[in-house]
Amino acid sequence: MDIDYLIIGQGLAGSFLAWELLQRDQKVIVIDNDKENASLIAAGLINPVTGMRFVKSTGVDYLLPTALDFYQGLAHFFQQSFYVESPMLRIFRNNKELIACQKRLSLSNYKPFLDKIIPTFSTINAPIGLLKQKQTGYLLTKPLLHTLKAYLISINSYTKTDFNYDDIKLAPDLQWQQFKPKQIIFCEGYLGINNPWFSWLPFQPVKGEIITASSSNKIIDKLLNYGQWYIPLDSHQFRTGATFDRDNLETDITSSAKKSLLKSLNHVYPSLTPENIIRQQAGIRPTTLDKQPFIGPHPHHSELIFFNGFGAKGSLQIPWYCQCLVDYLLFRKPIPSSTNILRYYE
């Protein structure tokens, strides 16, 4: 069967890319083994200003509006909202952070994202104060991915299967099983480290664990950022995370992560009592050496494309980079050099 694009992986990258290609009248097949991936577990947080020095995320001025338009378009099509906009309270952990924040508040290009410093906030332990951030929120990754999967199935654009690199034939024509695509696009998340054509790309995958829990008492309805994060799901249920583990890249959950997450949360929100741990999950973030995505065709096999490496910022970055890649595929518009995989090819 002749198709335009075969996409390997149905995480955020593969799903959003498939959607973008379908909107441009391309024939797409997405293959996935239907196992839980990091995108399904991800918090989906969008936070334009991060780090101890309160730095705007690279490209946020165009990444954020593109992402919000993308999610609004999906909400309109499926008649279901997938993005929750909510203010975030950033708790200062030391005076250096407070001073750094005060400097940012004086800059005009930070005003769209930073609201004001709050000396105290009811029920929160913040002796140095808090910063109220704007244009923050979170993506409902699991409902969105399930919705997109159901849609792909309904238009015969999804195949559930285990994928094997040996099944790809490069010559005389590109082929995988019965499909003959013009190009194959790999959106495999951290499993991309095993891709034989792209193994030279310097991934730095990081394991993260998160907890979903509930309390009988009513909980605060703001996002919290205190080195870890807290997301209120409703008036009694919340999620908290995430740990960072570069050494253990197994997706097993650990008691040490659970203890660490609950201890951190208890320190900033001592009145919250997690009475029921609903679930604990682990995933591997596909982070990269220079913290920039890996996008582009293989230097010797242009029919093979890589679209990966979004780390913990997929919800913010992927919609814009989907448009970049599709513009390249259809019109040969250059891929930004900071993300083009050729920056690492020798």
Identify whether residues 274 and 245 lie together within a single domain.
Answer: yes
User: Pick from 133, 118, 127, 89: which is nearest to 222 by CA?
Assistant: 89
Phi, psi of 109 (to 5 degrees): -75, -5
Q: Is residue 19 part of a domain?
A: yes
Helices 141-154 and 12-23, axial angle in degrees (round to 10): 50
Assigned domain for 62 exists: no
Residue 260 sits in the same domain as residue 152: no
Q: Are both 303 and 191 inside the same structural domain?
A: yes
**Per the omega criterion (within 30 degrees of 0), is the bond before 65 cis?**
no
Q: Which helix (H) or strand (E) holds 114?
A: strand 114-118
Here the tokens at position 306 are: 């890589």
Which residue type sits at 111? K
CA distance 184 to 176: 9
Q: List the CATH number of the domain containing 298.
A: 3.50.50.60
Q: How far apart are CA 12 and CA 313, in angstroms?
A: 11
For residue 119, being part of any structural domain is answered with no
Q: Are residues 229 and 187 in the same domain?
A: no
Q: Is residue 160 located within the same domain as residue 279?
A: no
- Same domain for 146 and 34, yes or no, is yes
d(CA 261, CA 101): 25
Q: Are 65 and 85 in contact (CB under 8 A)?
A: no
Task: Note the pLDDT of residue 346.
Answer: 66
* 185: in domain: yes
Residue 279 and residue 315 in one domain: no
Q: Are residues 145 and 178 in the same domain?
A: yes
CA distances from 235 to 9, 14, 216, 231, 330 (A): 34, 33, 9, 11, 46
Q: Is residue 322 part of a domain?
A: yes
For residues 210 and 274, state if they share a domain.
Answer: yes
Picking from 328, 335, 341, 239, the residue whose alpha carbon sits closest to that of residue 290 is: 341
List the alpha helices (DSSP H) in 11-56. 12-23, 38-41
Domain boundary residue, one of 265, 285, 305: 285
The CATH number for 218's domain is 3.30.9.10
Last residue of a domain, one of 266, 285, 304: 285
Report which of 324, 313, 336 is spatially closest to residue 64, judged by C-alpha positions. 313
Which pLDDT score, from 0 to 100, does residue 309 have?
97
- Residue 64 covered by a domain: no
Compute how many other C-beta atoms are within 10 angstroms of the C-beta atom of residue 53: 12
Q: Number of helices (H) and strands (E) in the chain: give both, helices first.
A: 7, 21
Pair 272, 265: CB distance under 8 Å: yes
Q: Is residue 87 part of a domain?
A: no
Per-residue pLDDT of the chain (346 residues; tens, 9 = 90+): 999 999 999 999 999 999 999 999 999 999 999 887 888 889 999 999 999 999 999 999 999 999 999 999 999 999 999 999 999 999 999 999 999 999 999 999 999 999 999 999 999 999 999 999 999 999 999 999 999 999 999 999 999 999 999 999 999 999 999 999 999 999 999 999 999 999 999 999 999 999 999 999 999 999 999 999 999 999 999 999 999 999 999 999 999 999 999 999 999 999 999 999 999 999 999 999 999 999 999 999 999 999 999 999 999 999 999 999 999 999 999 999 999 999 999 6
Q: Which domain holds residue 244?
A: 206-285
* pTM, rounded to two decimals: 0.96
Are 220 and 271 part of one and the same domain? Answer: yes
Position 16 scores a pLDDT of 98
Work out how many domains the chain is built from and give that number.
2
pLDDT score of 168: 98
Rg (CA), the chain: 21
Tell me the one-letter amino acid at 224.
L
Quick one: pLDDT at residue 202?
98
Q: Is 203 left (phi over 0), alpha (psi -120 to 50) or beta?
A: beta
* Chosen domain end from 239, 265, 285: 285
